[in-house]
A and B are shown apart, each in its own frame.
Chain A
Amino acid sequence: MVRLMVNAPAAGSDESAVDAFLQGDRPQEHLTQGEPSLRHAPGPYFGNYGGRWMPESLIAALDELEDTFEKAKADPEFTAQIADLNKNYSGRPSLLTEAKRFAEHAGGVRVFLKREDLNHTGSHKINNVLGQALLAKRMGKTRVIAETGAGQHGVASATAAALLGLECVVYMGAEDCRRQSLNVARMELLGATVIPVTSGSQTLKDAINEALRDWVANVGNTHYLLGTAAGAHPFPAMVRYFHEVIGEEARAQILDQTGRLPDAVCACIGGGSNAIGIFHGFLDDPSVKIYGFEAGGEGVETGRHAATITLGKPGVLHGARSYLMQDDDGQTIESHSISAGLDYPGVGPEHSYLADIGRVSYEPITDSEAMEAFRLLCRTEGIIPAIESAHALAGAMKVGQRLAAEVAAAGGAAGEISEKIVLVNLSGRGDKDVATAAEWFDLLDKDSPEAEIAKEGEQL
C-alpha cells in the first residue's frame, strides 16, 4: 500500500491532516472530529435533498421504522444476524475479479469487478431485503409489500419473505407483468402474491404509488420493503446502510489485491442503491474519482431516457426531494431504458447531493453503449452481466480510456497506464436479460417462440 506519510511532522496536527486529505491518503480511522466526512450521512437531509414528503398517515410508520432501525444498528444481535445471513445465505463476501481481457477495451487500465452478481438471487438486492425483512420482524409486522420493475427486487423480497416466514405482496406494473411473466412466476413460486398495477403508465413508478396506497391502508401489520435508496426518511440512509457492505468489502479487497486504492469507482444508477453501497466505501478517499452512470436510453437528446440527474430538475416524488424527470407543470415524465432496473424517473436523494457538491460525476450511457459493453464482457470474461450493470461497464470503458489519454497527454509511459485501476460494481447477473440481449443481437430464429417472447421485452 502506497502511503504518503513520510514527512508528517506531528501526526494528528491540523496541517498534516489537511495535507494527507489533499494527497488522497487518509484512512477512515484517522478522521478526527470536525473534519468533513461524507460517510454514514444519517438523513433525513442530504444537503437540500431527502426529507419526508409524505402523507401524515404514514409518518407514524416512518417514525417507528426509524426508531427500530436505529436500535437495531446498535444491537449486536441484529448486526450478527445480518453478518450471518450475508455469509451463510447470500454467499458474501462477493468476489473481486480482475477483468484482464475486458480491460483491453478500457484503455489498457486495470479493471476490477465487484461480483454482486454472485450473490443469492443474482444481484445486490438481497443485501437490502434481508435487512429490511429482519426489521419488519422486529416491528412485529407479518406482511411485507414491495414494488418491482423487471422483477429483481420483487424476487429478492419474495425470497426474504419466504426465508423469514412473512406474507409478501409485490406490486408490478401491468405492462411489466406482461413483459416479465417468468419473473412473475418466480415470485409466485417463492410464495408471493403479484398484483398487476393498471393505473398511470403501468410501470415502476405506478407500482410504487400502488404500494404506498396499500401501505396507508394496512400499515398496522405491513412493512413497505422499498427496493432502492430513495423514498422518505429513513429509507435512503437505511437502504444504503444495508448495502455499505459492498463498498467495505471492495475497499479491503482492492487494497489486498493491488496494494492501493483505485483511481475510479463506477456503478450504474437507477434509484441508486448498488451505487451508493459501493460509493460509500470510497467517499472519504479524495484520490478516488467516483462515477455514476445513468440510463441514457435511446440518447438524452431523444427525450427517451432515464438520465435523471443529467437532465432532471429538483422536485419531490415518492417521499423525497431529489432530482426528478418532470415537465414544466411538475408532472413526472415517463422514463425509458433497455434496462428495466434503471427505468425510473427519480433518483435517491444522496446521489443528488453528491452530484451537487461534485463528489460524484453522473453521466448517461445509451442503450447501445450498454449493450456493446454487455457483449464485450460476455466474450472477454465469460461473465454475462445484468443490462443494468452493463451501463457501469460501458462507463468504466470511457473512464479507462480517459485515464489512459490523461497519462499519454502528460507524456507518461505505457506502463503508467497499466498501473491505473478502475473498480466496477457488477451489480447483477444477466441470466434474466438473455432474451432481451438475444433480440438486440439478432440471435433468435425469427419463427421461434423465444423470438416472440423477446419482442415483448421478456427478461428471463
Chain B
Amino acid sequence: MSTTHDGAQDTTKPAAQLNDAQHASKSAAAIDRARAQGRAALIGYLPAGYPSVEATIAAGIALAENGADLIEIGIPYSDPVMDGQVIQAATTEALANGFHVRQVFDVVRGITSKTDAAVLVMTYWNPVVRMGVDEFSRRLAEAGGAGLITPDLIPDEAAEWMAASDRYGLDRVFLVAPSSSPERMKRTVEASRGFVYAVSIMGVTGARTSVSSAAKDVVAAAHAAGAERVCVGLGVSNAGHVREIAEYADGVIVGTALVAAIRDGGVDAVASLTKDLSTGLTREEA
C-alpha cells in the first residue's frame, strides 16, 4: 500500500475511497459509471455451476448484456447458513453435479472476457481457507475478478484477507446489517473496498413481498459512517423493489429471483428478468 498520500487531498474522504483510488476498484468503477448515468447500479447473483459451469457463464453474460453492472458469482458450499431454500437447492444441486471450487475462476474468466461488468465472487469463508487465502486471491485476480463478498467473514477475522486483497488489488465487500452497532458500522465501512453490502433485513436470502423499511436506515448509517457506495441485498426480487431501493442506495442486489429464473427458464429467463429489473434503476429525481 502506498504511504505517500498527497497532503492536499480532501481529508473528508473516507479511507475506503483512498483505497479505491489506489487499487482502481473495479466494483467502484462500475457503480460510478451507473451513477454518472443518474441511476443506481444493478448487481445480479448466480451460483456457479448451476445448472452447469457453461450455463453460469452464459447467464452471467446475459446479465451484463441486459443491464447488470456488477455480477456476483456464488461458490456452492455444503453449509450455507445465510441462504434460503431457493439458493440452497441450487447450490446443493451444483455440488451434487460435481462442482469444484477451482471452477469458479473459469466462470469469472468466462464472463470478464466477454463483458465489462465487474465480477465478484460471493463465498462462505472455508473454501477460501482450504485453498489458501493468498492462492485464492491470486487466481481470482488472474481470472479478472473484482473481489470477494464474504457473508460469514467479518473484518475482525479478516487480517489475512485484508493483506491478500491489497496484494492483488481486489475489492473486499463486507456486510452491514440492521443490527450493526455504530462502532461496528464504522469499522466495517473502513475495512471495505468497492462497496458495502447492506443487508436489508434480519434474515436469510429469499424473495420477499416487500422491502424491509430497515434497509433505508442501514444505508443511511453506512453512508454516515463514511461509505461512498452502499448496495442493498436480501429479499429484492422485482422492478418495484429495485425502484424503491434505487432512491436511496448506490446499488441494488438481486439473487434469489434470478436463481429461480435460471431454474425455471434458463438463460433466456435471466435475460428478460434482468431487463425488467433494470427499468427500476433510474432515479425519478436524479
Contacts and interface: CB of A to CB of B under 8 A. Distances in A.
A60 B179 contact: yes
Interface residues of A, number: 37
A329 B130 contact: yes
B163 interface: no
A199 B93 CA distance: 12
A341 B157 CA distance: 30
B184 interface: yes
A27 interface: no
Given A55-B82, A219-B202, A199 B154 contact: no
B78 A331 contact: yes
A199 B92 contact: yes
Given A52-B157, A55-B175, A332 B188 contact: no
Interface string B193-222: 000000100111000000000000000000
A324 B79 CA distance: 13
Interface in B98-139: 100-101, 125-131
A274 B204 CA distance: 32
Nearest to A326: B130
B71 interface: no
Contacts of B176: 56
A317 interface: yes
Contact of A200 (B92, B101, B129, B174): B92
A406 B163 CA distance: 50
A6 B214 CA distance: 69
Contacts of A199: 85, 88, 92
A57 B202 contact: yes
A213 to B, nearest CB: 5
A317 B177 contact: no
Contacts of A106: none
B152 A55 contact: yes
Contacts of A58: 179
A209 B79 contact: yes
Contacts of A56: 154, 174-177, 179-180, 184, 188, 199
Interface in A131-184: none
B261 interface: no
A199 B84 CA distance: 10
Contacts of B92: 199-200
Contact of A328 (B85, B130, B181, B204): B130
B78 A200 contact: yes
Interface string A185-201: 00000000000000110
Interface of B: 77-82, 84-85, 88, 92, 95, 100-101, 125-131, 151-154, 156-157, 174-181, 184, 188, 199, 202-204
The 10 closest A-B pairs by CB, nearest first: A330-B130, A330-B127, A57-B177, A60-B179, A217-B203, A330-B126, A331-B78, A332-B78, A329-B101, A212-B81
